[in-house]
Chain A
Amino acid sequence: MSASLEKGIHALKEVIDAPIASYFESCVHCGLCAEACLFHTETGDPKYTPIHKVEPLRRVYEREYTLLGRLKKMIGLSKPVTDAELDEWQELVYDSCTLCGRCSLVCPVGNDIVYMVRKLREGMAVSGHAPAGIRSATKNTVESGGPMGLKWPAVANVLRKAEESTGLRIPVDQEGAEYMVLLSSMEIVNYPEYIDALAKIFHKAGISFTLSSEAYEATNAGIQIGSSDLAKVIVSRIVDAAEKLKVKNVLSPECGHAYMAIRWEGPNLVGRPFKFNVVHVLELLDDLRLKGVLTMRDKLKDPLILHDPCQIVRRGGVLQAPEPLIRQVAENYIPIADKQKLNWCCGGGGGASAIHTEAAEALRATAFRIKKRQIEEAGVGTMVTFCANCRITIEEGFDHYEMNTKLLGLTELLAAHLEA
């Protein structure tokens, strides 16, 4: 195969820009970003300090784009970034970083560290230093349509089952629909209830929607592994399908990275603004709530807390929708201290949940202690979230710590209590 260090450096030279230069020049090694990173707070290991995770990128920046670095390089004072070094950093850039972006929120000089990790992954991916799990997920998505290798007949099967259980029609490839609904493989496989819920809500609101047999998968392992070219391949399917079906909106599923990929990276990957809007399902739901469509039959009594998925809330900007929606359906919603843009990651984002090495899984379990603590401190038995990937990671965490906390998806919860 053809990954190489040269390709990696080449990729980094392409992506290094003024913000990255400014960020590296601003860093004073204060270490505050470590306090915002759950991999550091839960392990205490200083190597998980976010700014340290992008050290190879800094080295390339200094050597390639600063005069002093170039001079140092010329007289042999600075050593080039090596394969061995990138290999060492793989754990730091992927296993212990979920692209949650919490570090970017606290840096006193204003460094957007997650921005830099995302860019560093461009070089890591093509130099062959991406973890096997994310590599195969990417490969599957590019070659067979989804990270789990799910094909359309299987999806159609799930849709049929949803039609049966809800008694509602789920249109496919219908031109001119208001919404083109995207799913994530995880939802199709693990949480098919989501599809039921969506069908109910659309029908109740009287909004036309459709699925596309050509683009049903919203997740984009390309942005997780950090390859814009591959991410573009994946996102282009959606763009093509949406434009072919002439839909007004594309509905991103609960999945966080899917939303990031299509809503924010998408236009930049294909190199032009979209002709349709990208809407997160919670934005749609909140809109319906405001229109009075989303009335509830009854409310959930259990005390519960909300887990705000990083890519949707802090990184995706869906800040205001979740709380009114949970209040719509839950009587005993308990707001926690670090909520909304300050929430702590589940530990499985950014592709991390696809890494199945023993070390990575053990690290994720350790990092999960922060979520465990939040649940225990709130003293609740239920947690609600709205990201399929978070749900898988959190359930793994519950299993690991043998917790009997209930985990619910927000959209399903709303659908379950929806007034008929």
Chain B
Amino acid sequence: MQGPLIDTLARQGVTRRTFLKYCATLASMMALPPAAGRAMAEAMAAVRRPSVIWLPFQECTGCTESITRSHSPTIEGMIFDMISLDYQETLMAAAGHQAEEARQNAMKANAGKYLLIVDGSIPLGQNGAYSCIGGRSNVDILKEAAGGAAAVIAVGTCASYGGIPKANPNPTGAVPVSDIVKDKPIVNIPGCPPIPVVMTGVLAHYLTFGSLPELDDKGRPKSFFGETIHDRCYRRPFYDQGKFAKTFDDEGARRGWCLFELGCKGPVTHNACATVKWNGGTSWPVESGHGCLGCSEPDFWDGGGFYKALSAPADPLKFAAAASVVGAAVGVGVSFANRAKKNKAKATHETITVADLEK
């Protein structure tokens, strides 16, 4: 195991064994065979640092926070040490024209080879005027940057599916990356925010195998998003037994029963929280007593309320009043027509005589 990376790491005090251990864990999380850990380590150690451009659009920086504040910055940071992060507004020292220049330079120098990471959705309303950088709209910048990228990684639910900016009524006309970039491979890493190891895992996969991991029908890496929260939830046995917490402070909640009735979206949410957990494996939402919000699924914000059970309606009385009025109006209309018809029939009644009984 030799190469520029391992040397860099060694200089930073990261030992070879630490790196091997990290790769073994990463491979395990990505559901790769155990032997892949070593292969990953070998490959990554020798890799040339690819250029990465990170474009933030309509976002909250939560995705960046998630990755930079992860439990062991040196390990997660390791991956970032393997890449040449040429543009990241939040992290880079440069600002203004300098920063834009760095981006332009990186794009020119690595045309067709750089990885493009996007977080945040892209507003299309008012010609994209809702979000601009250096006087240029997000959609403009994205199109330009995607043009020379080898692949695009949409980090976070906003970039993947539009996220909160796209939530009803979507005032800015926000769309996900996949609505704009059609000719490049896109990996979606949804989550609000996404799990750090998932982000690094995808990068590691790209660095190791030179390709993107296998994706599901929503463009997410199957290795992390293959199963639902519900399928891997430690509270699942309670669901099967029909034991549900009814409020957040009842006996069921204290006993750690299933949170389905409190609106948990676990059964319909694909993510790795239940296995990878958060904050260095400390806990995750359900373990902390709160149902899954379904943040890694498209349109989770409009899924009918976080505290409404999946079997409960989102907003079923939306048209009720209007429908009742229309129904009553139709009924009254028909009623008038019927009465007119019947009265006419009565008015034109000809008294029947015996002669009317025969043809």
Contacts and interface: CB of A to CB of B under 8 A. Distances in A.
Direct contact of A and B (CB under 8 A): yes
Contacts of A225: 357
B329 to A, nearest CB: 12
Contact of A229 (B341, B342, B351): B351
A130 B346 contact: no
Contacts of B328: none
A135 B359 contact: no
Report the 8 A-B pairs with minimum CB-CB distance, sorted nearest first: A128-B359, A1-B358, A229-B352, A13-B345, A14-B345, A67-B334, A3-B359, A139-B354
Interface in B212-229: none
B356 interface: yes
Interface residues of B, number: 20
Contacts of B352: 11, 125-126, 227-230
Contact of A14 (B330, B349, B356, B357): B349
Contacts of A65: 338, 341-342
B168 interface: no
A217 B103 CA distance: 111
A1 B356 contact: yes
B342 A16 contact: yes
B348 interface: yes
A1 B359 CA distance: 5
Contacts of A139: 354, 357
B345 A2 contact: no
B277 to A, nearest CB: 56
Contacts of A283: none
A138 B354 contact: yes
Nearest to A142: B354
Interface centre among B330, B351, B355, B356 (most CB of A within 10 A): B356
24 contacts: A1-B355, A1-B356, A2-B355, A3-B356, A7-B356, A10-B348, A13-B345, A14-B342, A14-B346, A65-B338, A65-B341, A66-B334, A126-B352, A128-B358, A135-B358, A138-B354, A138-B357, A139-B354, A227-B357, A228-B352, A229-B351, A229-B352, A230-B352, A230-B353
Nearest to A66: B334
A10 B349 CA distance: 8
Interface string A191-235: 000000000000000000000000000000000010111100000
Interface in A1-40: 1-4, 7, 10-11, 13-14, 16
Interface string B316-359: 00000000000000100010011001100110111111111111
B104 to A, nearest CB: 65
B327 to A, nearest CB: 11
Nearest to A4: B359
Interface string B57-87: 0000000000000000000000000000000
A64 interface: yes
A302 interface: no
Contacts of A16: 342
Given A67-B330, A229-B352, A10 B358 contact: no
Nearest to A128: B359
A143 interface: yes
Contact of A13 (B330, B337, B341, B359): B341
Contact of B357 (A66, A70, A130): A130
A3 B358 contact: yes
Nearest to A122: B352
A243 to B, nearest CB: 22
Contacts of B345: 10, 13-14
Interface in B253-295: none
Contacts of A126: 352, 356-357
Interface centre among A13, A16, A128 (most CB of B within 10 A): A13
A83 to B, nearest CB: 9
Contacts of B346: 14
Interface centre among B346, B349, B352 (most CB of A within 10 A): B352
B356 A2 contact: yes
Nearest to A143: B354
A130 B354 CA distance: 12
Contacts of B353: 229-230
Nearest to B334: A67
Contacts of B350: 7
A7 B351 CA distance: 11
Interface centre among A2, A7, A228 (most CB of B within 10 A): A2
Contacts of B338: 64-65
Contacts of B358: 1-3, 128, 135
Given A13-B341, A14-B349, A229-B353, 7 more contacts: A1-B357, A1-B358, A10-B349, A11-B352, A135-B358, A229-B351, A229-B352
B215 to A, nearest CB: 49
A122 B352 CA distance: 10
A184 B338 CA distance: 41
A67 B337 CA distance: 9
Interface string A110-126: 00000000000000011
A7 B341 CA distance: 15
B254 to A, nearest CB: 50
Interface centre among A70, A128, A143, A229 (most CB of B within 10 A): A229
B110 to A, nearest CB: 65
Contacts of A3: 356-359
A121 to B, nearest CB: 11
Contact of A64 (B341, B351, B357, B359): B341
A142 B349 CA distance: 20
B63 to A, nearest CB: 54
B121 to A, nearest CB: 46
Contacts of A11: 352
Contacts of B337: 70
Interface in A375-413: none
Contacts of A142: 354
